[in-house]
């Protein structure tokens, strides 16, 4: 079951050694930190309630810091290791994948233009290869906005017509036909299917594909609506799966690109500079028991269908019901069944887009927070691999750490005030050296990995050139660190609010992500951030009255909270981002040396927009009434994909359905989607609009 040329015993020994190094290093650092904090806490030969609470929280939080630091150092060790590890890509392989591969793009009220432009760019690169193999693209739509749904159909039809793709009249048909439509290995099909019922969100969308068409494909590459993967990387992903029959999921880390706001540039720069070292450390620690991030990964379809059926958690949402963050669970189920889940951190050519504003970032994280908190029950389930349990715990702590940090700061501050009021300052003075040492040590664990990553990058001549040289890299890293330090307390408050909201029983709504760069207005920032501003002012005044010297220690927190409104506006500003880029700061390699796939994506966006600008209609729904060809295409797609659903008598839409002569503008927005699922109704409006 192992790939030719891969020494499984050697690989296992390396992974075990890596895990021991990480765990032992984490434990020793944690032990030293806990002892130092205990020395501070009992400096007055007593341990009061708030001191005990602070110490308990510190034990958890410092362990999290120590583990993250150890993973980063393991990544540094891997980057500089002189031993060349044998991996599946060294095995002999055919250039042509043995069976067809489905490339899935689930969408939910996304920009159809960007989605189909991405598919056109990726397909174009696949066809440029001598033997691109058997690939088919599937746009799996869960869109609920009628205009977005109809625009998806138009974009898909225009693209397939322009590219000369003929697949059952251009739409999905029965499962058997899919595999027969493009018998030539050099062809790459593009299929489209819209679900009338959005059961189980994205996970249900992919499951629906597997149920109806999965048997036709050996592998499936799962994308997000903002994903891009180069043709070379797609083919290499398939090669590696062919070379090792034991791999169930191969995850290629996506790199954020293409955004211009200051907030987005911070994320893109951090991922480009620090990301590779952390990814290397994670890969060495996890080995064949890695994780899956829901997109930009290739999956063995048969194994996924057999083992990755998601459970429905007992109880009501938010902690019960359908699982929101399905990816971690699917990876754990695959590992549980004995399959490898690996990280291809040496592969490039995998891209995504990131939130462009702080407000969009925290909105997205609310859903992720609920999904990760659901994982505690799966983490404790039987036969889950210990490394998978650590993945779940890591995801949970990434959100729970925020309220814990805030409570830790509060209890530490209260303890210090009590000691000061009780005249114990002298006792605390004896622990000053330990306190300063602990603070410096904690900051070192947080900042040293960044410094090492920057130094490593600067010593790599090729990468240094791609990022603009030592000066811009170092300056950008300092700027990113300072701004991230100010942002951290703001994000911590929002993460804490998300955690408390979920624990209080508030279920998050499934909404489309904001992917356009709209910025943040002063009014929007004020409406969202004024509580933080008030809190920051209150704390600043309070600390100044109690102990002015503490203002220095709490300055990152106070600056972030007090200036949260202008910071939110500045972070979402493209003008600020462009200005810094003009100075050579926070620019990533893809901006200096544009990747072909990114350039082609933008080309196809412009092409589709140009054609769309020629269409004259108020809305896509209104065009359905005026354009017979467009209407017939919609009916054909409904019936070929078997998603035609007649409105039942007595349904809220029934009265409108019985009046096909109504103009489009007179039909209320909430019922348009349901009527679009009824092919018979669409035919009737066509009859009513035919010239007499």
CA distance 500 to 557: 20
26 part of a folded domain:
yes
235 part of a folded domain:
no
pLDDT above 70 covers a percentage of the chain that reads 89
The last residue of a domain, from among 559, 582, 605 = 582
Among 7-16, 441-450, 644-653, which is the least confidently predicted range? 7-16
- Mean pLDDT on 616-628: 86
Q: Are residues 625 and 491 in the same domain?
A: no
Tell me phi and psi for residue 217, to 5 degrees.
-130, 135
- Mean pLDDT on 594-604: 95
66 contacts: CB under 8 Å, gap ≥ 6: 25, 26, 27, 29, 30, 33, 445
- pLDDT value of residue 166: 64
Q: Are residues 669 and 576 in the same domain?
A: no
pLDDT digits (tens, 9 = 90+) for 129-143: 765 568 999 999 999
130 part of a folded domain:
no
Is the alpha carbon torsion for 29, 35, 38, 44 positive or negative? negative
Give the DSSP letter of residue 321.
B
Q: How many C-beta atoms lie closer than 10 Å to residue 670's C-beta?
A: 10
CA distance 306 to 72: 35
Q: How many C-beta atoms lie closer than 10 Å to residue 532's C-beta?
A: 21
649 part of a folded domain:
yes
Give the total number of structural domains in the chain: 2
Q: Are residues 481 and 357 in the same domain?
A: yes
CA distance 652 to 658: 11
Mean pLDDT, the chain, as a whole number?
Answer: 88
Is the alpha carbon torsion for 292, 297, 302, 305 positive or negative? positive
268 part of a folded domain:
yes
Location of structure tokens 């005026």: 626
455 part of a folded domain:
yes
Residue 31's pLDDT band (cuts 50, 70, 90): very high
Q: Are residues 514 and 460 in the same domain?
A: yes
CA distance 227 to 225: 6
188 touches 135 (CB < 8 A): yes
- Mean pLDDT on 109-114: 94
- pLDDT value of residue 649: 87
- Mean pLDDT on 546-550: 87
- pLDDT value of residue 1: 38
| Integer CA distances (angstroms), 368 to 111, 328, 508, 615, in order | 22, 11, 10, 38
pLDDT digits (tens, 9 = 90+) for 386-414: 999 999 999 999 999 999 999 999 998 88
80 contacts: CB under 8 Å, gap ≥ 6: 456
**Radius of gyration in angstroms for the set of CA atoms belonging to the chain, rounded to a whole number:** 27
534 touches 549 (CB < 8 A): no
Whether 305 shows a pLDDT value over 60: the answer reads yes
Largest separation between any pair of C-alpha atoms in the chain: 98
CA dihedral 49, 55, 59, 64 (to 10 degrees): 110
Q: Are residues 16 and 59 in the same domain?
A: yes
The structure tokens listed for 615 are 């269409």
- Mean pLDDT on 641-669: 88
191 touches 137 (CB < 8 A): yes
The last residue of a domain, from among 582, 600, 633 = 582
pLDDT digits (tens, 9 = 90+) for 160-189: 999 988 655 444 444 333 334 443 445 799
Give the DSSP letter of residue 48.
-
451 contacts: CB under 8 Å, gap ≥ 6: 477
Whether 226 shows a pLDDT value over 60: the answer reads yes
- Mean pLDDT on 605-632: 88
Whether 688 shows a pLDDT value over 80: the answer reads no
7 contacts: CB under 8 Å, gap ≥ 6: 86
Structural domain of residue 654, as residue ranges? 614-689
- pLDDT value of residue 92: 41
456 part of a folded domain:
yes
Is the alpha carbon torsion for 313, 319, 322, 328 positive or negative? negative
pLDDT above 90 covers a percentage of the chain that reads 70
506 touches 497 (CB < 8 A): no
DSSP string, 76-90: HHHHT--S----GGG
Q: Are residues 576 and 621 in the same domain?
A: no
436 part of a folded domain:
yes
Distance from the first to the final alpha carbon of the chain:
69
Q: Are residues 645 and 577 in the same domain?
A: no
What number of H helices and E strands is found in the chain? 29, 10
248-252, 625-629, 677-681: which has the highest mean pLDDT?
Answer: 248-252
Residue 3's pLDDT band (cuts 50, 70, 90): very low
Better pLDDT: 232 or 419:
232
Q: How many residues does the chain have?
A: 692
- Mean pLDDT on 608-615: 87
Q: In what order do the strands lie in the sheet with 297-300?
A: 188-194, 135-141, 101-107, 219-222, 297-300, 247-251, 340-343
Among 199-208, 434-443, 650-659, which is the least confidently predicted range? 434-443
Q: Is 108 helix (H, G, I), strand (E, B) or coil?
A: coil
Residue 96's pLDDT band (cuts 50, 70, 90): very low
Q: Are residues 491 and 619 in the same domain?
A: no
- pLDDT value of residue 81: 66
The set of long-range contacts for 235-240, using a CB threshold of 8 Å and a minimum separation of 24, is: 235/95, 235/97, 235/126, 235/129, 235/132, 235/133, 236/89, 236/347, 237/298, 237/344, 237/347, 238/97, 238/101, 238/133, 238/298, 239/89, 239/93, 239/97, 240/3, 240/88, 240/89, 240/344
Closest CA to 155 of 124, 117, 125, 193: 117
Whether 87 shows a pLDDT value over 50: the answer reads no
Q: How far is CA 262 from the centre of its chain?
A: 19
- Mean pLDDT on 89-95: 43
Q: Are residues 652 and 577 in the same domain?
A: no
- Mean pLDDT on 25-35: 95
Q: Are residues 429 and 345 in the same domain?
A: yes
Q: Are residues 435 and 384 in the same domain?
A: yes
pLDDT digits (tens, 9 = 90+) for 269-282: 999 999 999 999 99
535 touches 557 (CB < 8 A): no
Predicted model pTM:
0.91
Q: Is 259 helix (H, G, I), strand (E, B) or coil?
A: coil
CA distance 260 to 167: 38
- pLDDT value of residue 84: 40
Tell me phi and psi for residue 605, to 5 degrees.
-60, -45
Q: How far is CA 409 from the centre of its chain?
A: 29
pLDDT digits (tens, 9 = 90+) for 40-65: 888 777 788 888 999 999 999 999 99
Closest CA to 68 of 403, 401, 373: 401
Better pLDDT: 614 or 37:
37
Among 66-80, 174-188, 354-368, 542-556, which is the least confidently predicted range? 174-188
Q: Are residues 257 and 316 in the same domain?
A: yes
Helix, strand, coil percentages in the chain from 3-state DSSP, rounded to 5:
65, 5, 30
């Amino acid at each position: 079951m192992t790939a030719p040329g891969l020494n499984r015993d050697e690989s296992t020994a390396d992974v075990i050694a890596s895990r021991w190094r990480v765990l032992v290093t984490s434990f020793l650092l944690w032990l030293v930190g806990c002892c130092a904090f205990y020395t501070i806490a009992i400096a007055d030969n007593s341990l009061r309630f708030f001191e005990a609470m602070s110490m308990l929280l510190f034990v958890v939080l410092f362990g999290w810091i120590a583990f993250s630091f150890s993973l980063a150092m393991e990544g540094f060790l891997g980057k500089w290791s002189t031993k060349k590890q044998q991996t599946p890509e060294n095995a002999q392989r055919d250039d042509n994948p043995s069976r067809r591969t489905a490339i899935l793009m689930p969408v939910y009220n996304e920009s159809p233009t960007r989605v189909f432009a991405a598919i056109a760019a990726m397909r174009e690169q696949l066809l440029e290869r001598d033997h691109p193999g058997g690939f088919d693209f599937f746009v799996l739509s869960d869109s609920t906005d009628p205009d977005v749904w109809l625009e998806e159909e138009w974009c898909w039809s225009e693209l397939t017509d322009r590219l000369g793709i003929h697949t059952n009249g251009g739409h999905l048909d029965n499962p058997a036909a899919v595999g027969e439509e493009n018998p030539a290995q050099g062809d790459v099909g593009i299929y489209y299917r819209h679900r009338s019922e959005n059961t189980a969100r994205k996970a249900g969308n992919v499951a629906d594909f597997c149920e109806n068409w999965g048997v036709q494909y050996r592998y499936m590459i799962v994308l997000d609506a903002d994903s891009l993967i180069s043709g070379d990387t797609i083919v290499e992903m398939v090669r590696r799966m062919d070379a090792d029959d034991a791999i169930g999921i191969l995850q290629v880390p996506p790199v954020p690109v293409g955004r211009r706001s200051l907030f987005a540039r911070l994320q893109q720069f951090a991922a480009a500079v620090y990301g590779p070292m952390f990814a290397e450390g994670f890969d060495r620690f996890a080995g064949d028991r890695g994780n899956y991030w829901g997109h930009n990964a290739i999956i063995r379809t048969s194994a996924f269908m057999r083992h990755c059926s998601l459970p429905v958690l007992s109880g009501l949402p938010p902690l019960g019901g359908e699982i929101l963050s399905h990816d971690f669970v699917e990876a754990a189920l695959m590992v549980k069944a004995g399959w490898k889940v690996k990280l291809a951190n040496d592969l490039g050519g995998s891209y995504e887009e990131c939130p462009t504003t702080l407000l969009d970032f925290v909105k997205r994280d609310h859903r992720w927070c609920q999904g990760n908190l659901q994982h505690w029950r799966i983490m404790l389930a039987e036969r889950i691999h210990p490394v998978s349990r650590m993945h779940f715990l890591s995801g949970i702590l990434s959100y729970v750490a925020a309220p814990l940090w805030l409570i830790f700061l509060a209890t530490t501050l209260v303890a210090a005030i009590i000691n000061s009021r009780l005249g114990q300052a002298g006792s605390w003075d004896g622990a000053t050296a330990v306190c300063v040492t602990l603070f410096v040590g904690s900051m070192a664990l947080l900042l040293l990995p960044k410094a090492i990553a920057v130094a490593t990058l600067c010593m790599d001549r090729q990468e240094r050139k791609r990022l603009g040289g030592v000066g811009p890299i170092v300056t950008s890293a300092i700027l990113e660190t300072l701004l991230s330090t100010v942002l951290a307390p703001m994000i911590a408050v929002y993460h804490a609010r998300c955690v408390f909201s979920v624990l209080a029983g508030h279920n998050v709504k499934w909404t489309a992500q904001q992917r356009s760069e709209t910025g943040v207005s002063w009014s929007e920032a004020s409406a969202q951030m004024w509580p933080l501003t008030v809190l920051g002012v209150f704390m600043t005044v309070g600390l100044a009255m109690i102990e002015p010297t503490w203002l220095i220690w709490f300055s990152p927190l106070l600056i972030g909270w007090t200036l949260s409104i202008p910071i939110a506006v500045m972070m979402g500003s493209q003008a600020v981002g462009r200005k810094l880029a003009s100075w050579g700061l926070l620019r990533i390699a893809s901006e200096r040396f544009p990747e072909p796939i990114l350039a082609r994506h933008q080309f196809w966006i412009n092409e589709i927009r140009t054609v769309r600008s020629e269409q004259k209609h108020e809305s896509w729904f209104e065009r359905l009434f005026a354009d017979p060809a467009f209407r017939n295409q919609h009916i054909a797609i409904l019936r070929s994909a078997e998603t035609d659903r007649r409105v039942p008598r007595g349904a809220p839409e029934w009265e409108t359905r019985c009046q096909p002569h109504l103009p489009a503008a007179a039909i209320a927005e909430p019922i348009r989607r349901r009527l679009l699922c009824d092919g018979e109704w669409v035919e009737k409006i066509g009859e009513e609009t035919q010239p007499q």
